[in-house]
Chains A and B, each alone.
Chain A
Amino acid sequence: MSRPRAHTLVCRRCLVGPACWVAFAVLLVTGPARPQDVSTGIRRRGQFLRTELLRAETEQTYSCALAPTSGSYPTLLFRRQERVRQHEARVYEVVVEDRVTDAETGRDGITYRALPGEEIRGETTTRETARDLGAFADAPFVVNGIAVQTDAAGLYVDTAQALLVPFDDLSVNALDVTVRHQELGTVSFRVTRYLTLRWQEKRPDERLRLVQTDLLVALGADFEPLTPAGHEGLRVSVSMPESVVCGQECVVRVEARNDGKRPVACLVARIFGRHAWLSGTTFYLGNIPAGTHRNFERVIHIPNGADLGPVFAAVGFWDILGPIREAVQPLSGTVVAGAIPGPAAPTPAAP
């Protein structure tokens, strides 16, 4: 517990301080009648003693962030959380302010005296802490309007690449993701996409944040601007199924191999063509060191109303040095209606 302590403040600038001038005026008026030691008895807040918990509210919630992966499919990690909101108050000791006049020097001063057993409650604050309760397994969510289901590890792999689609507009660099759980409410976070990212210059906490929020970092694509870089030895290939079916999805795959001596930096590919469902699809290949290769695939949904017949498009490439005109690849396929005719089913044997 607190012990009473006396605090004395001696005015060192009585000739210049306005408070001292006021005290001097009071002394002039009341001086002859005043005793040597005058106690005003004003109660004031003293030193901080402790923090008192007023009440605590516990809430079951969850977190959602990008999970690091290596591939072409963004993955979301869902974790259960217990969020505790603590309403706290700070407690201070009570002191009494006494005014005294030094008998020897005649100078005025203020003395504080702690009152034992008495306390003053200060301002109230709210503190929130989250406690991780593990993976949110096998739970249904709605992510940006799309119903998803986590697996046993609390992961959801975006196999439709719905998180990549908004970024096909190259002017979009950030996307607000809203996750809704039927019971636990809504959680929002922002996903970014930086086509050049100076990862090496980032602090560890920034890197951790980027792993959870940046799409390309989470996908394991290296988009650190490299110098010197070149694309002399770049070999690219594009593949698409020969036949794609209306209303279904198909996978377009871009593979890049660097047979040159210098790394290819921040390689991005993009489909151009007349067909809206195909055009604009972007592939993030990133840095490709010499002698290595990297591929990226995109899932493309063919709308039901797509024109049947052949479809043609071009895949253009860009790296940190600019467009790579010589690498432009043709892309073609055929849109068919209904199921793709496969091998004839074996005729059942006659009984």
Chain B
Amino acid sequence: MPARRTARGRGRRRRGCTALCAALLGLLQARAAEEATGPAPDQAAPEVRFRALDLHDRREALADVLHRLTSERDSRREEHRAYIEAVAAFQAVQSPADDEARLKACIGVATSLERLDEQLRDSRLRRLEVLDRVQAEAGQTDGSASVEGAKILREVDAEVRLMLAQQAEQSRRMDGLKRQVTALANAIPPPAEFQEAGGPLMRLTGRGPEAFYASTTPATAGLFLRFVQAQPPGPARSAWESRLAGAAPESVLGGVSWPEAQRLCEWLSSEERVPYRLPSLKEAEALAQARPGSAAAFWCAEPWAPRDHQERRDLKRFGVDLVTLWDGTAKLTGKTGPSAEVPFARYPSLVVYLVTPIQTGVALRWQRVRAQPP
């Protein structure tokens, strides 16, 4: 193909030179005639046209259009084949029993659909260009257009328009397919557990849209030691280091104040790039229900909001902010459920559970599956 193009290019250049020479010759003749007859200021120079050259150009243009049409036919076949493959892949998506394999298949279909969509956008632009070209050629009224050429142009126009219509229909079907793939991916249940490197093992807790991931065990001494060592040196860090010196890394750590628990969540979130936080009241209740007897008293994220108007007024009057803890076993507060507590309380039996929204597990699995080789 490139060799053919090169030969044609040489031929075109040669013809161009011939035409240029003829034009120059014509100009010289006209100049000589002018000098012989004297200047005629008001008379414009007549346009010189060479019918053979025009015909040649038209024929070249027609050949180019036909060549583009051939190329678009190939492209269209390729698109259709890709579409058929995507449909087949989508039909195969529902067969894997494994959630991750199904998700991977969904991602594969979605990726091929995205690629095909991009391809369709490009080809549509190309086909519109071909149409423009056809219309430009058909609009030539210098008499050089032959009947046969016009017929060819009409056929090309009809075929390109048909291609565009088929392409639009295919795009519409692909949109529907994308929606189905998305629905299928969304229907895949989130992973039951996940664990980021160095982070706690997070287990899905609760049901439905209010489900969330909670750490299977409270924050351990090992995790807290990493957090403490990431802090700038100071008396607080030294005190914590000496306290944690003899503790086993897997042992559950109590006696952490609410601000420290919050800072631990923030630090771990930045370390693992996972949004860890303290459980909300609803999450705390779900956590206590999901693990009856095992969930000791733990910090909640919410500030304490007393129902009693007088208590609320007194807290506001004296500018004191209390926070909430959830006692799952009634060992600390004497009753199960939420209780008010001062933020700096360090009860040994008061621990820290970490939670993260359900979207975190879904997103992490998505990233993991996408990172796998196809």
Contacts and interface: CB of A to CB of B under 8 A. Distances in A.
Interface of A: 169-171, 269-270, 272-274, 280, 307, 309-310, 312-314, 316-318, 322-325, 328, 330
Contacts of A269: 318
Nearest to B310: A171
Given A171-B310, A274-B333, A312 B317 contact: no
Contacts of A330: 342, 344
30 contacts: A169-B310, A170-B314, A171-B310, A269-B318, A270-B318, A272-B314, A272-B315, A272-B320, A273-B340, A273-B341, A273-B342, A274-B333, A274-B340, A274-B342, A280-B314, A307-B332, A310-B345, A312-B341, A312-B346, A312-B347, A313-B342, A314-B322, A317-B319, A318-B318, A318-B319, A322-B319, A323-B317, A323-B318, A323-B319, A330-B344
Contact of B342 (A309, A312, A325): A312
A314 B346 contact: no
B49 interface: no
B317 A318 contact: yes
- Counting from the closest, the 9 A-B pairs by CB-CB distance are A323-B319, A316-B318, A312-B345, A316-B320, A325-B319, A314-B342, A272-B320, A318-B318, A330-B344
B341 A274 contact: yes
B235 interface: no
Contacts of B342: 272-274, 312-314, 330
Interface of B: 310, 314-320, 322, 332-334, 339-342, 344-348
B29 to A, nearest CB: 102
Given A312-B344, A314-B344, A316-B320, 6 more contacts: A270-B314, A274-B339, A310-B348, A316-B318, A318-B317, A318-B319
B307 to A, nearest CB: 15
B316 A323 contact: yes
A61 B318 CA distance: 44
A309 B348 contact: yes
A318 B315 CA distance: 10
Nearest to B317: A318
A323 B317 CA distance: 6
A330 to B, nearest CB: 5
A310 B318 contact: no
A175 B357 CA distance: 53
Contacts of A324: 319
A228 B234 CA distance: 41
B38 to A, nearest CB: 106
A169 B340 CA distance: 18
A324 B345 CA distance: 21
A312 B347 CA distance: 8
Contacts of A322: 319
A328 B341 contact: no
A185 to B, nearest CB: 37
A213 B109 CA distance: 86
Contacts of B315: 272, 316
A271 B333 CA distance: 18
